[in-house]
Chains A and B, each alone.
Chain A
Amino acid sequence: MRRRVFLVTGIVLVALVLAVALVSLFWTPFPAADTTGGRLEGPGAHHLLGTDKLGRDLLTRLMIGARIAVAVGLGAVALGAVLGGLAGLLAGFANRWLDDTLAALLDILIAFPTLLLAMLVVAARGASLASAIVAIGLAMSAIVARLTRVLVKRVLAMDYVTAARTSGVSWPRIVTAHVLPNIWPTLAVNLALQFGLAVLAEASLSYLGLGPPPPNASWGRLLQEAQSTVLTAPTGAIAPGVLLVVLVVGVNLLADGLRDVADPTRRGHR
């Protein structure tokens, strides 16, 4: 029951941010480049959350930031899942030599700090939304691959896979019927957690000025821009921070709840 509450709360929080991101595609309170507001206005009737130091509406900027956060999260997870999943499956099935090589490679990749890797990618490709997605997705794929490899190996060691082999079931069929369904719950929960981490990583990159360049209003950039005026206009720093927390906590709760939905042994027992 408690878990159900987690799941619902997670869904609500994530849906909230998704809705904001979607709405921002069609409508924002002010145009993105509108600088007609006063500088650093506090929350009010005209600008609900106030304005930044260039007179831009903060709510508008936050809504566009939601779009970027969601885009980077989904993009990085998609890239990480495909690349990492395939590499992990390969390593899981590989003979000892190939497996050892891949495992060592993955360990090196994981030991490499995400931000450093991201800086390399940004240096090579230039700062952009796509660079952020590629950088974070690459770092994530190493983690996903390592997890997938272990999960695949665990399933392959199970008697039901041996039993399937003894009754002559082909390898492709074993992968689709037994391996994928059995690794998917754990993998899905991990990918949901990775989504939250990707959003945070993008905020960090943007905070350092390596994310999507201005005038893109990533939450990390909003935090960085509000830093110098945090004492006189705290909303500018608090609002993006709160939104980051809402999305990341929401995704984590969702991930936790997902595990129970995906696993029949934990489903429907009180």
Chain B
Amino acid sequence: MSLLTVSDLTVSSADGRTLVDGLSFSVGRGHRLGLIGESGSGKSLTTLAVAGLLPPGLRASGTVLLDGTSVLGAPERSLNRLRGRVAAVVFQEPSTALDPLMRLGHQVAEPLRRHQGLRGAALKAAVLASLEEVALPARVARAYPHEVSGGQRQRAAIAMALACRPALLIADEPTTALDVTVQAEVLALLDRLATAHEMALLFVSHDLAVVGKVTDEVVVLSAGRAVRTGPLRSVLADPGDAYTAALVASARRLDEALGGAL
């Protein structure tokens, strides 16, 4: 059975507009899926729905099964057992994803304390190990978020998400706020960690080139609807619909301009 099964997910706003329209996909254990689309295509709403975090004003129908448990309309209590352990989220903007008034070490310690019951010296060692895993120096533990760089903040956020060893990591545009060189490092890090922990990855981005670096399958979203689903290679070779074709063409142009080969 798949780790995450989304079938016929529809999200609509209070005034009746359909934001996500009959979306279906699944992610197996250890598999990676990219969710691609432009702003407003419903990518982020989909991730929020999967994590059970939809804002109260929105109505969702269809089913989202996370490790066999239904997420939509589930009470907070049963969601809390899934969150962190089954699925964790890395957000787009690392400067708001971290509490500005809490030292990074404390923020990384929080999920470790909750999920692994660590205290005292063991907790401290686990925090340092988590930081080392995302290639952050130990001194970062004592720093506030504003005292480290954007890339380091995103690494810290990844360390927090990974602290509970989730089976699925949901990454919502994790590199969009970073500059290009740092982007590549963070992508490589996610790739390495996902492989090392046999973690499934739901990777959301508007950038085909970025998605191409970490996932093998993609769902292309346009206006809340899946317009193309399939392995990345076949999508690139045969985009099918006009929207995907435009997306692939623009990614190719960018890639050629940079002198690489997609």
Q: Point out residues on A near B: beta carbons under 8 Å.
A: 95-96, 158-160, 162-170, 177-178, 181-182, 185, 263-265
Assembled-state Cα–Cα distance A170/B110 (Å): 12
CB nearest to A157 among chain B residues: B96
Q: Is B144 an interface residue (CB 8 A)?
A: yes
Which B83-134 residues sit within 8 Å CB-CB of chain A? Answer: 83-85, 87-89, 91-93, 96-102, 107, 110-111, 114-115
A167 near B100: Cβ-Cβ < 8 Å: no
In the complex, how many angstroms separate the beta carbon of A161 from the nearest chain B beta carbon?
A: 8
Q: B residues within 8 A CB of A166? A: 51, 53, 83-84, 87-89, 161
Given the contacts A158-B96, A265-B100, A163 and B163 also touching, CB distance less than 8 Å: no
Q: Is B213 an interface residue (CB 8 A)?
A: no
A165 near B83: Cβ-Cβ < 8 Å: yes
- DSSP majority for the A interface? helix
Q: Is B157 an interface residue (CB 8 A)?
A: yes
Assembled-state Cα–Cα distance A168/B79 (Å): 8
Assembled-state Cα–Cα distance A164/B161 (Å): 9
Q: A residues within 8 A CB of B200? A: none
Q: Is B146 an interface residue (CB 8 A)?
A: yes
Given the contacts A264-B146, A265-B100, A159 and B161 also touching, CB distance less than 8 Å: no
A264 near B101: Cβ-Cβ < 8 Å: yes
Selected from B57, B80, B102, the residue in CB contact (under 8 A) with A177 is B102
Number of B positions contacting A (CB below 8 A): 34
Can you list the 4 inter-chain pairs with the closest CB atoms, starting with the nearest?
Answer: A167-B84, A159-B97, A168-B84, A159-B91
A182 near B114: Cβ-Cβ < 8 Å: no
Given the contacts A182-B99, A182-B101, A162 and B53 also touching, CB distance less than 8 Å: yes
Given the contacts A166-B53, A167-B110, A169-B114, A159 and B81 also touching, CB distance less than 8 Å: no
A178 near B83: Cβ-Cβ < 8 Å: no
A163 near B101: Cβ-Cβ < 8 Å: no
Q: B residues within 8 A CB of A169? A: 110-111, 114
Assembled-state Cα–Cα distance A169/B112 (Å): 11
CB nearest to A178 among chain B residues: B99
**9 extra A-B contacts, CB within 8 A, seeds A165-B83, A167-B161:** A159-B93, A163-B89, A163-B161, A164-B110, A167-B83, A167-B88, A168-B114, A181-B99, A181-B102
Given the contacts A160-B96, A162-B53, A167 and B102 also touching, CB distance less than 8 Å: no
CB nearest to A164 among chain B residues: B110
Q: A residues within 8 A CB of B96? A: 158-160
Assembled-state Cα–Cα distance A166/B82 (Å): 9
